[in-house]
Amino acid sequence: MSLDQQRMTEIASWGQDKRLKYLLKQMIEQQQVWILTDEHGAVMLTTEDEDCIPVWPHQEFAMQWATGDWQGFEPKAISLKDWQSKWTHGLEDDEIAVVVFPLPEEDGILLDPAELHYEIEEQRRKVHP
């Protein structure tokens, strides 16, 4: 799903909680989530306390981060099935958190991979009771 600039601006004005809900809804509807990668792997961020991987609901938002230190990184879609079956466990094993839908000017919510997995399943139950 491609977004026009007006819709992107609207979504970017939302707070962290609303962006989290939007990401969860989009993950279920689109059956994918977006990350940034290069030949070495996914973009990793470091907060004061932990390493984390940022995720976005759309390619366009991931592309906004492919500048500065992350110039040359490319958006990559990860299927929801792969995220749930491979990425969640791999991130947990490596003690890497997930930063949900960060924006260039605003941080995203930091979640443990198991927490995000739980939230995805809760959203799935709402959509497919």
Interval 4-32: pLDDT, tens: 899 999 999 999 999 999 999 999 999 99
CATH of residue 62:
3.40.1350.90
Within-domain flag for 14: no
How far apart, in whole angstroms, are the C-alpha atoms of residue 127 and residue 69?
38
Could you list the residue range(s) of the whole structural domain that residue 95 is in?
23-127
What's the pLDDT at 66? 86
Within-domain flag for 79: yes
103: pLDDT strictly greater than 80: yes
**Tens digits of residue pLDDT in 22-72:** 999 999 999 999 999 999 989 998 877 889 999 999 999 999 988 887 788
Helix-strand-coil split of the chain, %, nearest 5: 45, 25, 30
How far apart, in whole angstroms, are the C-alpha atoms of residue 12 and residue 34?
16
CB 104 within 8 A of CB 12: no
Domain count, the chain: 1
